Amino acid sequence: MSDAGTTIHELRQLIRQFVDQRDWRQFHAPKNLSMALAIEAAELMEHFQWIDVETSRRLPENPDRLAAAVEELADVLSYGLALANELDIDVSDAIQAKMIKNAAKYPVDEYRGRYGPQDDGPLSE
Amino acid sequence: MSDAGTTIHELRQLIRQFVDQRDWRQFHAPKNLSMALAIEAAELMEHFQWIDVETSRRLPENPDRLAAAVEELADVLSYGLALANELDIDVSDAIQAKMIKNAAKYPVDEYRGRYGPQDDGPLSE
Amino acid sequence: MSDAGTTIHELRQLIRQFVDQRDWRQFHAPKNLSMALAIEAAELMEHFQWIDVETSRRLPENPDRLAAAVEELADVLSYGLALANELDIDVSDAIQAKMIKNAAKYPVDEYRGRYGPQDDGPLSE
Amino acid sequence: MSDAGTTIHELRQLIRQFVDQRDWRQFHAPKNLSMALAIEAAELMEHFQWIDVETSRRLPENPDRLAAAVEELADVLSYGLALANELDIDVSDAIQAKMIKNAAKYPVDEYRGRYGPQDDGPLSE
């Protein structure tokens, strides 16, 4: 599989099959899955907890650490797709719709190089 | 766009373009993105915080609430893809590899209808 | 030590001493501590991830599981106090001030038995 | 109230009274409170999401931002105490016991200036 040749639907099917084979939909209530997502996101954060922002950009230089972090990211995304399966919503639609909303909220001219309004800028401003 | 006809690569490009247009890669260090992921996961949890597990399954009955939760899920997944972009890793590969590992860790026969070993079962056991 | 005879200041001193002895204030920037707090909160959630809301009330019936969860709660609170130390703020003041604000936001008459406004009620309403 | 003159028990009573007056113990199952804790921890993280580690140390220079972050920290700690109330455990005992355990796990000589074993050090090592 590769991102260029794999549809969201195919990844969702992979997750669905895994869950169905174990009869785990009984555990996959949205409330529980939202907790699972947050837990996996925290496990991903652990890899960056005590290091500097710039140092975190160099994670790919260390293949073992990269592999460990990527596993956590895979967990986050898998639970996200599992939740999409339970809610029966289209992920591509949802992301596209949200990006259109985000584009209106953060116009390019106003937010180029800035992540928030003036008063939300770095403390050093 | 729909999940059946959209590749992971296409979604990643959508995110990449949004970030590049705003010159936001300077903020998208892995450390910051892991925080963003966890923050969006928490915003998703808010929708389920005080309700019962079974009640959470009925979210789709309320279109407004479903739409609000789906926006948060879109945010979680978008930041996940943004992190994959920064780390330059293949999401489909990563998820497939992790599912193979999970399948070995949770054999179907042993875990059907059970989310953990006997001593990790519900307290009521 | 017991909650009836221990001041917040005494607990904060316990944390401060531990951190100083290891020269760990260099890691205890507010950004890092906020991540640590969220990570420990997630480890606490793990104990409740797949069980029902009502089942979670019975955790104290299982001493081993209670002890494990309480350790995570201790971690959450310790990092919270470590952050108060770094920011040099008074925790008792902050909690009292927030409870006064909360009391105004959630008047007793309006919120007795309800955690949110009518339209934030359980989906079953 | 001030940290030097306030016991943990007194803060716990403040929270307990607030919850009892609103008949909110019905919502305060450990599972729900663990989610609330994680959600408030995420709201605290939002204040540090996009800024550098060192910049985050200067939060107290900006009184408005400090006040906003401190409110989130008060929420985290309040939910932590609410959970202690529900589980009926002693927080001072739990923190002291955990710090003794931590002291054995992280001996001063070995961990002075280091947050983890050699192979957990900064990526730059």
pLDDT at B118 over 70: no
Q: Does A21 touch chain B (CB under 8 A)?
A: yes
Burial class (CB in 10 A: 0-12, 13-18, 19+), B39: buried
Higher-pLDDT residue of D41 and B123 is: D41
Which positions in chain C touch B55 (Cβ < 8 Å)?
122-124
Average pLDDT over residues C105-115: 94
Q: How many residues does chain C have?
A: 125
pLDDT at B120 over 70: no
**Amino acid B116: pLDDT:** 80
Beta bridge partners of A7: B7
Q: What percent of chain C has pLDDT over 70?
A: 93
Give CA–CA dist B21/A98, Å, rounded.
16
Average pLDDT over residues C82-110: 97
Instruction: Please state, rounded to an integer, the average pLDDT across all residues of chain C.
Output: 93
Q: Which pTM does this prediction carry?
A: 0.95
**Sorting pLDDT into bands at 50, 70 and 90, what band is C118?**
very low
**Amino acid B117: pLDDT:** 61
**Sorting pLDDT into bands at 50, 70 and 90, what band is B1?**
confident
pLDDT tens track, chain D, 125 positions: 899 999 999 999 999 999 999 999 999 999 999 999 999 999 999 999 999 999 999 999 999 999 999 999 999 999 999 999 999 999 999 999 999 999 999 999 999 999 876 445 444 43
Average pLDDT over residues C77-91: 98
pLDDT at C123 over 70: no
- Contact residues for B13 (Cβ-Cβ < 8 A; gap 6+): none
Which positions in chain D touch A111 (Cβ < 8 Å)?
none
**Amino acid B125: pLDDT:** 38
Residues B21-30: tens digit of each pLDDT = 999 999 999 9
Give CA–CA dist B81/B87, Å, rounded.
10
Residues A27-56: tens digit of each pLDDT = 999 999 999 999 999 999 999 999 999 999
Residues 45-74 of C with CB under 8 A from D: 45, 47-48, 51-57, 59-60, 66, 69-71, 73-74
**Amino acid D117: pLDDT:** 61
Residue B5 to residues A5, A16, B104, Cα–Cα distance (Å): 11, 18, 31
**Sorting pLDDT into bands at 50, 70 and 90, what band is A66?**
very high
The minimum CA-CA distance between B102 and chain A, rounded to whole Å, is 9
Average pLDDT over residues A88-107: 97
Residues B6-39: tens digit of each pLDDT = 999 999 999 999 999 999 999 999 999 999 999 9
Average pLDDT over residues C46-73: 97
Inspect the interface and report whether the beta carbons of A98 and B6 lie closer than 8 Å: no
Q: What percent of chain B has pLDDT over 70?
A: 93
**Amino acid B93: pLDDT:** 98
Q: Does C36 touch chain A (CB under 8 A)?
A: yes
Three-state DSSP at D7 gives strand
Q: What is the DSSP string of C93-121?
A: HHHHHHHHHHHHHS-HHHHTT-SS-GGGS
The minimum CA-CA distance between B4 and chain C, rounded to whole Å, is 30
**Could you say which DSSP state residue A7 is in?**
B
Burial class (CB in 10 A: 0-12, 13-18, 19+), C73: buried
In single-letter form, the type of residue at position B69 comes to A
Q: Which of C27, C35, C48 sits opposite A45 (nearest CB)?
A: C35
Is the ipTM higher than 0.85? The answer is yes
